[in-house]
Structure 1
Amino acid sequence: MKLRKVTAAAAAAFALSLTATACGSDDGNGSGSGSGDDKITVGIKFDQPGIGLKTPDGKYTGFDVDVATYVARQLGYKPGDIEWKEAKSADRETLLQRGDVDFIAASYSINDERQKKVDFAGPYLLAHQDVLVRSDDDSITKPADLNNKRLCSVTGSTSAQNVKTKLAPQAELQEYGGYSECLTGLENKAVDALTTDDSILAGYAAQDQFKGKFKLGGFKMSNENYGIGVQKGSELKAKINTALEKMVSDGTWDAYVKKNFGPADYKNEPAPKIGVVVS
């Protein structure tokens, strides 16, 4: 695997303090969402168990939620100061560009196309693209077996297109609004496989109502470097990088991985080096 720098500006991260920023700033540097300096607005997924989930009783759980809460605390905000906002895959760049959120931690893979529109702190997790299939389906044992299969992913995600472009050009793509819809389609045999990051798939497969129904392919079809998205030019990028460095060094990162992925027996990669993307 090759390593490359996310940006030369990442080196400046360690020189900046972790004092809270004025989230209501409209000075054009992308430092806030207009919510006032007593609150911070954070985009997360609402429908990804183990990553970002809004529970029926209104609580927020998952690895990204824990990471975002840690980062916000380092920026000077208590958990009660965080306003959570749903960040669907197709909406993430728009939410940042409009200033609807201060930052996004939502299984947000760093790639060149997205970096044209937003900046990323991190990465803070290295996942791999995989597939989830029904446990009784033995017809998909390698990526090429996805040819002529109905492959589901969500609108705005690059996962299904990666498969069709590089691995299984005859795959029949099905795009749904959310992973939960894909999962329902897989369970009902409307689709044959669901593709996204292994961390997300493991979270779904580990849910009590789905135990024994699905299995991971274990294909590791790509490297997905999860980053925290901010507006272009935002001073938050450097401060978040510093917070992420501390989270890894003080052992909190390992604790969050064990807490959120341990029940699914997820074989995670070691904590990535902040500022370096594995390609």
Structure 2
Amino acid sequence: MRVPKAGAAAAVIGLALTATGCGGDDGPQGTLSVGIKFDAPGVGYREPGGTFSGFDVDVATYIAKELGYKPEQISFKKVDSSDRELLLQYNEVKFVAASYSISDKRKEKVDFAGPYFTAHQDLLVRAGDNSITKAEDLNNKELCSVTGSTSAQNVKQTLAPKASLLELQTHSECIVALEEGRVAAMTTDNSILAGYAARKENAGKFKLIGLSLSNESYGIGIKKGNKDLQAQVNAALKKMVQDGSWDAAVKKNFGSANFKHDPAPQITTGS
């Protein structure tokens, strides 16, 4: 969850238009461009070898299959929180699956399918630290989050006003700071925290506190007005839950983190 930066987003779009031309997809025989996160293990992550992993990747791949595309026809494009709307508006991607929380403000610019997942703001601490069981325990301690994060501000302003906030550019930098003991906790959506905790290299190092400091309903972002695609994606999401693929994807991406996730949410968009 990050505050949009219009200038940076515009620059990203300019580069994307130069590099890729018209974008979008050419139908079932062409390429389907999908926007995902590249730096959120368990959610959307570009592995060192160039492959992709994460719950959003699995959801996007399932949707693509239902739209008639094979996995090799999918072109995953990196999106940051600040440029998701613009990528859709400029047809650089057909849809966005990138921990994209549905909100009234965002619905002014794009349409959503879903929701397909419910996340909550939580805290990640070192595995052996039992001093933090609630947000208020962060008072007089260091808290890390990405620059401009609404998660950190929620803690700082309302839950633990005496906490010291360390803002870094990426979640990965916060993980390093937490492991090195420079901060007592890291905060963002629990899905992202669980993804980091579930990485093999992090086994046994971290634990989620299990708080629900906010409610985030993840939706699939679609260009404004594309009701046909919205209906198709909603149908795919419903089928994914019904045939067990949704549960399998959750277990695959978050299981080793002992992540207590919410059940699949009811589809509320497009009605």
TM-score (norm 1): 0.80
- TM superposition shift of 1:35: 4.2
Instruction: Say which SS state the counterpart of residue 261 (structure 2) adopts.
Output: coil
Q: Which of 256, 266, 269 is matched with 2:259 structurally? A: 266
Stretch moving more, 144-153 or 239-248? 144-153
Taking a change above 3 Å as real, the CA distance of residues 183 and 108 of structure 1, as seen in their structure-2 partners, is same
Q: How many residues align?
A: 245
Deviations 1:139-173 (A, max 9, x none): 32211122343322224643222223432233333
- Tell whether the 8 Å contact from 1:118 to 1:229 is kept in structure 2 after alignment: yes
Distance between the aligned counterparts of 2:240 and 2:234, measured in 1? 10
Paired position in structure 2 for 1:250: 243
Distance between the aligned counterparts of 2:194 and 2:58, measured in 1? 17
Deviations 1:108-163 (A, max 9, x none): 22223322332211110112210101234333221112234332222464322222
Taking a change above 3 Å as real, the CA distance of residues 109 and 218 of structure 1, as seen in their structure-2 partners, is same
Correspondences of 1:34-73 after superposition (within 5 Å): 34-37=24-27, 38-73=30-65
Distance between the aligned counterparts of 2:99 and 2:170, measured in 1? 13
Distance between the aligned counterparts of 2:253 and 2:189, measured in 1? 15
Deviations 1:52-79 (A, max 9, x none): 1111111111111110001011112111
Taking a change above 3 Å as real, the CA distance of residues 141 and 41 of structure 1, as seen in their structure-2 partners, is same
Distance between the aligned counterparts of 1:114 and 1:158, measured in 2? 15
- TM superposition shift of 1:174: 3.1
Distance between the aligned counterparts of 1:170 and 1:118, measured in 2? 37
RMSD between aligned residues: 2.0
Deviations 1:72-127 (A, max 9, x none): 11112111111001112233233223322111111122223322332211110112
Distance between the aligned counterparts of 1:51 and 1:245, measured in 2? 19
2:92 counterpart of 1:100? yes
Taking a change above 3 Å as real, the CA distance of residues 113 and 80 of structure 1, as seen in their structure-2 partners, is same
Instruction: Say which SS state the counterpart of residue 144 (structure 2) adopts.
Output: strand
Correspondences of 1:126-275 after superposition (within 5 Å): 126-155=118-147, 157-235=149-227, 236-275=229-268
2:89 counterpart of 1:122? no
Distance between the aligned counterparts of 1:40 and 1:91, measured in 2? 19
Structure 1 residue runs of 5 or longer lacking an equivalent are 1-31
- TM superposition shift of 1:239: 1.8
Higher relative contact order (CA 8 A, sep 6+): 1
Instruction: Say which SS state the counterpart of residue 99 (structure 2) adopts.
Output: coil
Distance between the aligned counterparts of 2:40 and 2:56, measured in 1? 10
Instruction: Say which SS state the counterpart of residue 131 (structure 1) adopts.
Output: strand
TM-score (norm 2): 0.82
Taking a change above 3 Å as real, the CA distance of residues 55 and 132 of structure 1, as seen in their structure-2 partners, is same
Taking a change above 3 Å as real, the CA distance of residues 231 and 151 of structure 1, as seen in their structure-2 partners, is farther
